[in-house]
Structure 1
Amino acid sequence: MSHRYLLFYKPYNVLSQFTDREEGDRGTLSDYIPVPDVYPVGRLDRDSEGLMLLTSDGRLQHRLSDPRFEHPRTYWVQVERCPDAEALAQLQQGVTIQDYRTKPAIARLLPEEPPLPPREPPIRYRKEIPTAWLEITLTEGRNRQVRRMTAAVGFPTLRLVRFAIGDLRLEGLAPGQWRDLSAPELAALKSLGKRPVSRARGSRPRGDRS
């Protein structure tokens, strides 16, 4: 049996798993994806949106989830106020979160709001506090990392959308939609993570989560 490789646009307030042990109004992947035996590669927090990869290929799932195999993930991030050059430089160089310093990232201020559908429910709007959008690319994925990074430089995250995983893009999908990868996309995906990155002794691997 051939494996399945899916891209999914996770909406807000949906868990990155197929079951929810707690009662409430939280959606799960089973509400959107009827394909059996596929599992997410990495995670997005419930209050984050955007691109997820799911597959029945356990070997590839393990490889892409292992922090030794770094691959870029790009996020569009709406923050309070407009970050200045100093804040962007800090994000690019790495910031200290608790006892950990993040790896250098690509961070830039977007000239205009990215073409995203409105979030449901929308973020809280405050007329006296302007907002701005950043594009941030990471090669690591610690728990709520993007949110903690922007907060550390003084610009709290209001909305977080993962736009890309490697060369895979969110374009063409609406929230809640999924599709199979094309042959070129699958070839590019399988090229990710072929060379593990050396890790300093004593460092602890973490899963992909934002």
Structure 2
Amino acid sequence: MSRILLFNKPYGVICQFSRDGMHPTLADYIAVPEVYPAGRLDTDSEGLLLLTDDGKLQHRITDPKHKLPKTYWVQVEGVPDETALQQLRGGVALKDGMTLPAEVRAMEEPAALWPRNPPVRFRQSIPTSWIALTIREGKNRQVRRMTAAVGFPTLRLIRYRIGDWTLDGLSPGLWRQEEA
């Protein structure tokens, strides 16, 4: 039976078990042998990271041809209008090519949101807002590059869902095991 761990990765943690001497790693939070991350999450991003002991499952989760949807809660600088949201829905031209169309909607700040350490920088004269963005690919820093390309830079990025797995009930730094 395959094991899958759902981990709420805090800001500043790198998605590897080996230490780099500068950042906390998965080893600081997860003392389970023989599990490996199924994908990555940038050091300055937070949220759901899946780990498994099953190589085939790991491949299925990460392989773009399976198009497993990933939903992010994104705090952006400014308030995107319908034109910007429509651009995200249609795909955005990045330096490494067009993104696939995304699902996107404006949302309120998540109710169960935890404080980030360090806090996000705020400017009194520029409002911030939240969007829920679902993609089915994983280009390097894709969500950040997409929101910047339509004029609304990402301030905070939290992966909420991968396929049917969510962060629900998981505080930052905690994990739970589920059947794969």
Instruction: Please give the TM-score of this superposition, normalised by the length of structure 2.
Output: 0.96
User: Per the alignment, in what secondary structure is the counterpart of residue 59 of structure 2?
Assistant: helix
* Counterpart residue number, 2:15: 16
Number of residue equivalences: 179
Deviating 4+ runs (over 3 angstroms):
none
Match of 2:147 in 1: 150
Task: Indicate the SS of the match to 1:36.
Answer: coil
Identical counterparts, % of pairs: 60
What is the correspondence of 1:1-210 to structure 2 with a 5 Å cutoff? Answer: 2-21=1-20, 23-24=21-22, 26-110=23-107, 112-115=108-111, 116-181=113-178, 183=179, 186=180
CA 1:103–1:57: 2 relative to 1, 3 Å:
same
Task: Find the residue that maps to 1:14 and give its secondary structure.
Answer: coil
Alignment TM-score, normalising by the size of structure 1: 0.83
Q: Distance in 1 between matches of 2:61 and 2:166?
A: 16
Task: Please state whether the residue corresponding to 1:42 is helix, strand or coil.
Answer: coil
Specify every segment of 5 or more residues in structure 2 that has no aligned partner in the other structure, as ranges.
none
Deviation at 1:63, TM superposition (A): 2.1
Q: Note the aligned Cα RMSD (angstroms).
A: 1.0
Q: How far apart, in 2, do the equivalents of 1:138 and 1:33 lie? A: 27
Bigger proportion of residues as strand:
2
The unaligned stretches of length 5 or more in structure 1 are 187-210
| Alpha-carbon separation, structure 2, partners of 1:15 and 1:35 | 17
Q: CA deviation at 1:27?
A: 0.8
